[in-house]
Structure 1
Amino acid sequence: MTAVMNSRDAQADDDVQTKDSTEIKALVFVRDRGIVVLWIVLILAFSMWASPFFGTWGNAVLIANAAAVAALYAAGVGVGVMSGALDISIPGVAALAGVVCGKLVTSQVSVGIGIVLALLVGVSVGIVNGLIALRGYNPLIITIGTLSVTSGLAAVVSGGYAIPGLTQLTFMGTARYLGLPAPVWIVIVLYTVLTVFITQTRHGLRFMAVGGNMEAVRRCGINSSVYRVLGFAIGGLCAALGGVVSAAVSSEANPSASPGIIFTALTAVALSGVALTGGRGSLPRVLVGALILATISNALTIKGIQPYWSTIVTGLLLLFALGMESSVKTAVERRLMKAATASAHSGRR
């Protein structure tokens, strides 16, 4: 009789563990793939709502082009968050890099040299941010300070006025290659390189580990400081590239640091499920986050709805993404704890 009861209890525990395992897999799917499902649903919904103009190849190219610049900034924010630091200085770095490139190009300096120096400006700011952060200061406060500094420097370099007539940068702005705008190709290359680095290289894995627990990585004998600075440097590079591409698209370099840049980038990163505590995330999902924002804005524009509604929707999406991330994380932790308790109980019997 006792043996039968033990067998029934064991079977019940197995059923509970199987159910918990299924629920955990479902929650992880929502966390890791939910954003792709959301984008597909939005495309289908908008194809019917904004028919016949939304569901065309030409409009798809417009959405991709609109998302491209935002995706460059989102890559910088995303990489920074994955490494354990939120970089707020990206709008200022973008403005400074843009005007440096514009100033050099209009001063008869080689276009290639102008672009390289502009990108080096971004990397340099990132390294400075990283070195200061290593001294124990809060990265958020540091980057707010460098945002102010770089914004001021952009105005100093440009004399406070936009630098127009940057037709030399057309090749990476309004030009098209194989039917796609240049910024889209730049985003494809950037995301491919960074994704391969993070997921397929030893240094990339260490980089992510530092974002998760810098002290634990240090105790393993790895120079965690290098990877923390690297995160800031990559963020600065992405911001500078975004600034140069923005100047190329509009044919002018604007010294104003737009706060909308960081807002849009943060929303795309939050939508992608990147853990704001660092150590976990996916750049391809960040790209999908940027595409979702561009898709919503495009559909509302086609329907003639005022642009401020797009801002409202973006803010609501940010709040939704933060709430979803917290809820899924808590639910997964509870299921794992429950499964571990059930397993320990079964082991004692």
Structure 2
Amino acid sequence: MTLETNLSGAERGARLKSLSRIAINNGVLIGFALLVIGLSLATPYFLTSANLFSILVQSAPFVIMAVGELVVVLVAGIDLSVGAMAGLSGAVAASLMSSMGLPWPVALAGALATTTAVGALQGVAVNYLRVTDFITTLAGLSIFTSLTLIVTQGNPIGIAADGFNALGQARLLQIPAQVWIAVIVVLGAWFWLSKTASGRHLYAVGGNRIAAYRSGIRVRRLRTLAYAFSGLCSGVAGIIFAAQLSSADPNAGRGDELTAIAAVVIGGVSLFGGRGSVWGAVMGALLISTILDGLVLLNVSPYYTELVQGFVILLAVMLDYLKRHDNAV
């Protein structure tokens, strides 16, 4: 009788451990499903097509920034300047069109080239000049924010180019253009990380930098490429911000680095590098956008927005710790 009791107790323990492991490993999906169910019951406006499209539209630039942040975090880095680079991108594009009279495709290319270049410069500072990524990108946040204010003189710059504004306002097959742009960026990043040698090397660098170097991977070059890619993604997000408003707002992107980092962490990407996926970052960004949308629908004061984000980030970090501890055991 005692043996049977012990066996049944062991079976229950193993079953509970298996269920807890499933919950930890799929925390984002479970949390997202519970959030959708809760908001659906709390407000009748949540599951309307207009609101769901609104969530997709609002989350598109954050998804793009999160994908760029993901690549940096995969190589055990961090980029605190993604929001500032997004603001700089819109300011540069608007200035090139309004002040220099350049066609919008040229202005678009110039803006993206600018953010990609400054992202690469940050990568050089981190990987070749040995400045820590936190300090480098924190300085970048300040520098790029200031440059945006200098370019715009602290005032919005109107954009009259219909082709440019269509990137944030047009629809293709009834789906907003910015959603299509986000899909292209996500699929491109997924293909790079999962189907190419350099993408797989990013995981190796984040997992063990010394071992990656000894195996012949150009670690510093690859890590610099990660920061350049983050700059490019931030530039694309900034273009969307400007196109949505038909103007470059000097405050665009300010504080959005928190959202990008939160999306990556919530999406199950390890802050220690070497583990994570594009789809996790996308789910994290969608989860945050859904939470923010729910707060608006429930008439919650915007003062609570960052409070909620902070708790969500803390919960995600705790889940990451439990996941790593469970895998170690």
Q: CA deviation at 1:275?
A: 0.4
Quick check: 2:155–2:249 contact (8 Å CA) kept in 1?
A: yes
1:72 counterpart = 2:72: no
1:99 counterpart = 2:91: yes
> Equivalent residue for 1:338?
none
1:153 counterpart = 2:147: yes
CA distance 1:241–1:32, shift in 2 (3 Å): farther
> Equivalent residue for 2:50?
58
Q: C-alpha distance in 2, partners of 1:219/1:63?
A: 45
Q: CA deviation at 1:267?
A: 1.3
CA distance 1:105–1:280, shift in 2 (3 Å): same
> Equivalent residue for 1:42?
35
CA distance 1:63–1:324, shift in 2 (3 Å): same
Quick check: 2:27–2:319 contact (8 Å CA) kept in 1?
A: no
Q: C-alpha distance in 1, partners of 2:284/2:188?
A: 18
| 1:131-170 → structure 2 map (5 Å cutoff) | 131-134=124-127, 135-168=129-162, 169-170=164-165
1:268 counterpart = 2:263: yes
Q: 2:302 aligns with which of 307, 317, 321?
A: 307
* Partner SS, residue 51 of structure 2: helix
Q: C-alpha distance in 2, partners of 1:310/1:141?
A: 26
Q: Tell me the amino acid that sits aligned with residue 121 of structure 2.
A: V
Q: CA deviation at 1:312?
A: 2.0
Q: CA deviation at 1:281?
A: 0.6
Quick check: 1:81–1:278 contact (8 Å CA) kept in 2?
A: yes
Structure 1 range deviating more: 143-152 or 59-68: 143-152
Q: Residue deviations 1:241-282, cap 9 Å, x none? A: 111111111111123364420111111111111101111111
| 1:169-208 → structure 2 map (5 Å cutoff) | 169-208=164-203
Q: C-alpha distance in 2, partners of 1:257/1:301?
A: 20
Q: Tell me the amino acid that sits aligned with residue 62 of structure 2.
A: A
* Partner SS, residue 278 of structure 1: coil
TM, length-normalised to structure 2: 0.90
Quick check: 1:96–1:150 contact (8 Å CA) kept in 2?
A: yes
Q: Structure 2 regions of 5+ residues with no counterpart?
A: none
Q: Tell me the amino acid that sits aligned with residue 230 of structure 1.
A: L
Q: CA deviation at 1:308?
A: 2.2
Q: C-alpha distance in 1, partners of 2:250/2:294?
A: 30
Q: C-alpha distance in 1, partners of 2:15/2:103?
A: 59
Q: Tell me the amino acid that sits aligned with residue 188 of structure 2.
A: V
Between the aligned residues of both structures, percent identity stands at 28
Q: Structure 1 regions of 5+ residues with no counterpart?
A: 1-7, 336-349
Quick check: 1:170–1:251 contact (8 Å CA) kept in 2?
A: yes
Q: Which has the larger radius of gyration?
A: 1
Quick check: 1:268–1:286 contact (8 Å CA) kept in 2?
A: yes
Q: 1:33 aligns with which of 18, 26, 33?
A: 26
Q: Residue deviations 1:115-139, cap 9 Å, x none? A: 1111111110111111111232211
Q: Tell me the amino acid that sits aligned with residue 152 of structure 2.
A: S
Q: CA deviation at 1:330?
A: 1.6
Q: 2:122 aligns with which of 129, 132, 135?
A: 129
Q: C-alpha distance in 1, partners of 2:19/2:227?
A: 33
> Equivalent residue for 2:273?
278
Q: CA deviation at 1:228?
A: 0.6
Q: Tell me the amino acid that sits aligned with residue 58 of structure 2.
A: A
RMSD: 2.4
Quick check: 2:80–2:134 contact (8 Å CA) kept in 1?
A: yes
* Partner SS, residue 173 of structure 1: helix
Q: Residue deviations 1:202-256, cap 9 Å, x none? A: 1110112112222111101121122111110111101111111111111111233
Aligned length: 320
